[in-house]
A and B are shown apart, each in its own frame.
Chain A
């Protein structure tokens, strides 16, 4: 996952900066972090004690902004517009990118209409440009644009910061996956056994048929010798009677 590698350095930098400062100065660090074009992970910064202190003070708006960027979407911002400070265009762009990632969490195929509604984009051309330039070239999503069906098929999307409850559901998904693959392993083994038994049966059947053919061949060759003598004599008498009639 190269995105994570790219981000690791940036995260370290911002964490150092944020832990060194307090209060309003933190606000500017948060602003810088949320507008940085390659940073999509904010939970490390959120976890810092200096940032958590912002709760309840006059700078708590910055904390709210950080939380919005960590877990929220563009529509969350629009509905809470009043309590949050004005966002810089870089931040707007980043929030929209993060919105796409959140949408990718639930569905693998995103219809254009839904995307346009969530991202406040009016025409398809703009939406596609946004998806191609901002999302795919940044490397946070990989997928195919299906213009005929007006949807975006996502093959890979980078992970967003985890909400506290998500860990449980991830573990659930993993255990389901494990269960399915275990069942599959068992059924494959049964198929292999079935294939082997069927080939055994087939060989046995073939052998039986050949044995019977051999038996019949032997008995027929014995019969032929006796039958031929009988037939010759009866045929000889028949021809002689025919001649007599003529």
Chain B
């Protein structure tokens, strides 16, 4: 399997596909019954556990316009481990159903999970070649690697290379970009902002919010630093002056200071004062109700001596 770039097609992947594949994998993995852990078979299970990670298979669909391939959606397929191939009648049925709802989408290829493309995948790839002459293979790596910055998704194409005199189909990796529709952007944004549901204390929410702002400002900071460095270089003469860039920078700087009018100060202070006032009022009410409870408890606990008669016996 070579890892060179491909035939010049540009790939655009929608986040829906990635979410679908990961959802499929998670569902299958969690439905798999965990193996019984006994001390004697611990070592055996240790070896087996590594191979327990199930592989899921499915189909990706989308549109191909000229040199751009856009992958919109995906659906799951049944894999027959005995024949090492995908269930064809099921695939056909699903294809018809999806055709009715999305008449423009074609089957562009298939997906699977795992860490690297394997030789056995070539069989499935070849099998799909009768639906699409050059299918795509989308591979998701379910291993969570906290140091990794990129998405663990790779797209492979098949190319005919001559190795040892025999023309063979091998997988070559291609680059892709992520493309979002407005609805997808909203849901991805929603997922990214998930806060732990029991971290309801104000401090953790505040800290999370502030951390978000902090990282955003840090990114802005680093980009301005690059611009600054570039301009200083231009001034010293290391870099030839590029007028159109300078014009853009000057128009950008003209937008600063972004918020400084008097009206803004007035509105801002008014809203700030209102919020403080409301918090104060809430605090007040809280305190007075606690005080009330305390007085009631005090009365019940210490006032018994002054009551005439009618003291209930608590035998």
Q: Which residues of A are interface residues toward B (Cβ below 8 A)?
A: 1, 4, 7-8, 11, 41, 43-44, 47, 104-105, 108-109, 155-162, 166-168, 170-171, 173-175, 177-178, 181-182, 184-185, 188-189, 191-192, 195-196, 198-199, 202, 228, 232, 235
Contacts and interface: CB of A to CB of B under 8 A. Distances in A.
Contacts of A189: 214
B243 A185 contact: no
A196 B201 CA distance: 11
A170 B224 contact: no
Interface of B: 201-204, 206-207, 210-211, 213-214, 217-218, 220-221, 224-225, 227-228, 231-232, 234-235, 243-244, 246-251, 253-256, 261, 311, 313-315
A195 B210 CA distance: 10
Contacts of A7: 244
Contacts of B214: 185, 188-189, 192
Contact of A4 (B248, B261, B314): B248
B203 A171 contact: no
Contact of A1 (B218, B251, B254): B251
Given A175-B228, A196-B203, 9 more contacts: A41-B244, A159-B250, A159-B251, A167-B231, A167-B246, A171-B231, A178-B225, A191-B210, A195-B203
A177 B224 contact: yes
Given A44-B243, A162-B243, A192-B207, A170 B217 contact: no
A197 B315 CA distance: 50
Given A43-B243, A162-B243, A232-B315, A174 B224 contact: yes
A1 B247 CA distance: 10
A171 B247 contact: no
B216 to A, nearest CB: 10
Contacts of B243: 41, 43-44, 47, 161-162
Chain A CB count within 10 A is highest, among B206, B218, B235, B250, for B250
A216 B19 CA distance: 55
A206 to B, nearest CB: 11
Given A7-B244, A185-B214, A188-B210, A170 B251 contact: no
Contacts, number: 109
B207 A156 contact: no
Nearest to A42: B243
B244 A4 contact: yes
Contacts of A11: 244
Contact of B248 (A1, A167, A181): A1
A228 B314 contact: yes
Nearest to A106: B254
Contacts of A198: 203
B44 to A, nearest CB: 46
Contacts of A4: 244, 247-248
Nearest to B255: A156
